[in-house]
């Protein structure tokens, strides 16, 4: 049960309602950001209790949500949600959005060259990590704040919105000022402090599936962000750990229709981190379009042999251009198209 409260409700009235629900044996979590506030009950609530709650002062409406999920559930919101970046680009809905770029921000020159090539091929978002969560402490850890500044410069120069990973709740503010979308990576999917902090930033969030996480755990992670009142959440399937070492991870394409049946949130696919192999990126990207995903996150690097991170899975600009040409044909076959080009960020800032 989700209790949507009146928009002008006073804090004391929210406390009173919470106490009333508590006295009736319901533990309700205050969610949202006042626009509106919501009380989300953990338990399933019998119809007669819902009717009683509906009549309490300060309650605007009560939504019965029969499954496990609450704010991410299609029972709460039957229509698919869309996430809109600052330049007006919409993720979810009709258009298919491609985010592409280097795994890590390495230099201004590399970032600009990659941005220009992926944009020319039809990408609408630039990806790149300033903070890299690396398995080995001896691997390149990213340029940190200097990398974040390069992303900010590049989005202003190229006009492409930027998605970048945040690994520490303390860096959310810095990255929220320098990027258009904050990525929570596979290794942090259950970092609940981080999920709440990116939620509170109000920025669009790209939430990757933990490589050992069930779909249920992934959606509950999304609920942490949604509970803060931030509805701008996009899910990203990036492969799960299986027994076969032929690929780095196993892309779970079935996750897309499974999640879409349960949840209204957009879902994109990362064929690069799932396979870890350049030769598999194109076929998996085409599968994403056919299976109903809302977009892609793809590693592209102009000199993959010299890449500081994940060079084995990076496409060259030429390979990415070829992928985009095939992608357009697969999208057309399923009556879809790439998202329409958006106004550059810098034009909106002027």
Binding site for ligand PEP (CB under 6 A): 103, 129, 165, 185-186, 208, 238, 270, 273
Quickly count: other Cβ atoms within 10 Å of residue 187's Cβ: 15
DSSP labels, 76-109:
T--SPP-EE-TTS-EESSSEEEEEEE-SB---HH
- Rounded distance between C-alpha atoms, residue 93 and residue 78, angstroms: 13
Pick 185 or 229: Cβ nearer ligand PEP: 185
Least distance in angstroms from the C-beta of 110 to Mn ion:
15
Least distance in angstroms from the C-beta of 49 to ligand PEP:
41
Pick 119 or 132: Cβ nearer Mn ion: 132
Q: Which residues, including other chains, have CB under 8 Å from residue 251's CB and lie 6 or more apart?
A: 237, 238, 239, 269, 271, 274, 275, 284, 287
Binding partner of 178, given Mn ion, ligand PEP, none, CB within 5-8 angstroms per partner class: none
Least distance in angstroms from the C-beta of 301 to Mn ion:
10
Least distance in angstroms from the C-beta of 103 to ligand PEP:
5
> Are 240 and 213 in contact, with CB atoms under 8 Å apart?
yes
Least distance in angstroms from the C-beta of 160 to ligand PEP:
17
- Residue 126's DSSP bridge partners are 100, 162
Pick 28 or 296: Cβ nearer ligand PEP: 296
Compute CA 20 distance to the chain's CA centroid, rounded to the nearest angstrom: 36
Q: Residue 176 has which token pair?
A: 């929220």
Tell me the pairing of strands 28-32 and 37-41: antiparallel
Binding partner of 208, given Mn ion, ligand PEP, none, CB within 5-8 angstroms per partner class: ligand PEP
Q: Residue 134 has which token pair?
A: 């690396």
Residues in the chain: 350
Binding partner of 92, given Mn ion, ligand PEP, none, CB within 5-8 angstroms per partner class: none
Pick 103 or 123: Cβ nearer ligand PEP: 103
Q: Which residues, including other chains, have CB under 8 Å from residue 12's CB and lie 6 or more apart?
A: none
Least distance in angstroms from the C-beta of 194 to ligand PEP:
12
- Phi-psi region for residue 101, left (φ > 0), alpha (ψ -120 to 50) or beta? left
Pick 165 or 197: Cβ nearer ligand PEP: 165
Nearest residue to Mn ion on Cβ basis: 103
> Are 173 and 140 in contact, with CB atoms under 8 Å apart?
no
Peptide bond preceding 193 in cis form (omega within 30 of 0)? no
Pick 27 or 214: Cβ nearer ligand PEP: 214
Least distance in angstroms from the C-beta of 106 to Mn ion:
12
Nearest residue to ligand PEP on Cβ basis: 185
Q: How does 273-282 read in b/e, with b if 16+ C-beta sit within 10 Å?
A: bbbbebebbb
Q: Residue 235 has which token pair?
A: 């899910």
Pick 103 or 198: Cβ nearer Mn ion: 103
Binding partner of 238, given ligand PEP, Mn ion, none, CB within 5-8 angstroms per partner class: ligand PEP
Least distance in angstroms from the C-beta of 313 to Mn ion:
7
Pick 273 or 278: Cβ nearer ligand PEP: 273
Residues that bind Mn ion (CB under 5 A): 103, 310
């Amino acid at each position: 049960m989700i209790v949507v409260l009146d928009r002008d409700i006073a804090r004391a009235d929210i406390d009173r309602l919470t106490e009333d629900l508590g006295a009736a044996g319901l533990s309700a979590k205050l969610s949202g950001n006042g626009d509106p506030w919501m009380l989300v009950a953990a338990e399933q609530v019998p119809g007669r209790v819902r009717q009683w709650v509906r009549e309490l002062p300060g309650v605007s409406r009560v939504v019965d949500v029969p499954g496990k999920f609450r704010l991410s559930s299609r029972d709460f919101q039957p229509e698919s949600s869309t996430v809109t970046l600052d330049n007006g680009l919409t993720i979810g809905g009709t258009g298919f959005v491609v985010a592409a770029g280097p795994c890590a921000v390495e230099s201004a020159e590399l970032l600009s060259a990659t941005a220009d090539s992926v944009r020319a091929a039809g990408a609408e978002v630039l990806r790149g990590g300033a903070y890299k969560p690396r398995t080995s402490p001896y691997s390149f850890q990213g340029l940190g704040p200097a990398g974040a500044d390069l992303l900010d410069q590049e989005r202003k120069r190229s006009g492409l919105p930027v998605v970048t990973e945040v690994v520490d709740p303390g860096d959310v503010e810095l990255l929220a000022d320098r990027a258009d979308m904050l990525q929570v990576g596979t290794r942090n999917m259950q970092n609940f402090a981080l999920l709440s902090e990116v939620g509170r930033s109000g920025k669009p969030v790209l939430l990757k599936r933990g490589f050992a996480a069930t779909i249920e755990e992934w959606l509950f992670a999304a609920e942490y962000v949604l509970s803060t009142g931030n509805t701008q959440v996009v899910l990203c399937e990036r492969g799960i750990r299986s027994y076969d070492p032929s690929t780095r991870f196993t892309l779970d394409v079935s996750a897309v229709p499974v999640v879409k049946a349960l949840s209204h949130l957009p879902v994109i696919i990362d064929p690069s981190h799932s396979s870890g192999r350049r030769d598999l990126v194109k076929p998996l990207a085409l599968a994403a379009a056919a299976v109903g995903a809302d977009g892609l996150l793809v590693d592209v690097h102009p000199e993959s042999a010299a890449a500081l991170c994940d060079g084995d899975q990076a496409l060259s600009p030429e390979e990415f251009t070829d992928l985009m040409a095939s992608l357009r044909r697969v999208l057309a076959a399923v009556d879809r198209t790439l998202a329409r080009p958006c106004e550059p960020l810098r034009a909106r800032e002027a």
